[in-house]
Amino acid sequence: MGAILEVKGLTKRFSGLVAVNNVSFRVGEGEILGLIGPNGAGKTTIVSLISGTLRPTSGVLRFAGREIQTLPAFRRAQLSIGRTFQVMKPFPGLSVVDNVAVGALFGSGGGHSDLSGAREAARHWLDFVGLAHRADQHADSLGGPDRKRLELAKALAMKPKLLLLDEVMAGLNLVEIDEVIEVVKKVRAEGISILVIEHVMKAIQRLSDRLMVLHHGEKIAEGHPDEVLNDIHVIEAYLGRRRV
Ligand SMILES: Nc1ncnc2c1ncn2[C@@H]1O[C@H](COP(=O)(O)OP(=O)(O)O)[C@@H](O)[C@H]1O
Ligand SMILES: [Mg+2]
């Protein structure tokens, strides 16, 4: 299987703190790679290093065979790396559909140059994530679960080849989690490769083809989800956390 993303020796220092320490991994074409680890492990930092909102201290990032670590975030988005944000920031004055249309306007090769085409694409992605019925409301009127769906629709409207999902299930109930799992599976069925960060173990186990564990910025395990979750080091890293 070819790799859509290859990460080699990725390191990020924030003054004294090493948030990500010499981490290497790959995401295969059409693969779902799960990323777990305790709070502060460096998961969101890895997403920001891949999407370009942060620059690595050292290391190489190769997307579709091309080195991207020096490219600004907007260029990486154009190359079709999409992400969601752990803390969501919808454009507050805009309707739900126009929030997604912004993603369609600024997306990769398939980006729309006119607003009506972008809105049409936006409605398609709202339907895809189950939010079509709220398309014309103000984005700030959405509750937590619908904001997660909006965030996902915005990222999808950019037509990513690689999608980085940072805790899109946080704060959702079990029914809502099942719905998001189905949406993420549909995303993969579109041929999109996915790096998914999630604290909900049941969800990550069901979704991931492979699972990688970070602890204090270092990769401590990687492999089949069932094996990794039984790995003694992983259990130690999670000691005191209830596994769901
Ligand atoms: N912009 C930043 N400046 C300084 N330290 C940061 C910054 N972003 C993250 N960190 C630190 O890096 C570590 C990893 O954070 P993060 O990647 O957000 O972890 P996770 O997403 O796994 O919870 C934490 O100790 C965090 O406080
Ligand atoms: Mg995080």
Indicate which residue's Cα is closest to atom 2 of ligand 1.
14
Distance CA 228, CA 234 (A): 7
Token pair 């904001």 is found at 147
Query: At CA 81, angle to CA 86 and CA 141, rounded to 5?
Result: 40
Residues 127-183: tens digit of each pLDDT? 999 999 999 999 999 988 898 899 999 999 989 999 999 998 888 889 989 999 999
The structure's pTM equals 0.91
Query: What pLDDT is recorded for position 211?
Result: 96
**What would the two tokens of residue 158 be?**
């950019």
Residues 109-136: tens digit of each pLDDT? 556 678 888 999 999 999 999 999 999 9
What is the CATH number that goes with domain 1-80+161-244?
3.40.50.300
How far, CA to CA in Å, does 203 sit from each of 61, 182, 197?
27, 10, 10
Indicate which residue's Cα is closest to atom 1 of ligand 1.
14
- For a pocket test of ligand 1, which of 14, 87, 214 has the largest count of ligand atoms closer than 8 A to its C-beta? 14
Domain boundaries of the chain, sorted by first residue: 1-80+161-244, 88-159
- For a pocket test of ligand 1, which of 35, 44, 45, 165 has the largest count of ligand atoms closer than 8 A to its C-beta? 45
**What would the two tokens of residue 201 be?**
């173990």
Ligand 2 ion: Cβ-proximal residues, 5 Å cutoff = 43-44, 86
CA-nearest of 181, 28, 25, 158 to 82 is 158
Q: Cα-flanking dihedrals φ and ψ of residue 163, to 5°?
A: -115, 130
Residues 18-74: tens digit of each pLDDT? 999 999 999 999 999 999 999 999 999 999 999 999 999 999 999 999 999 999 998
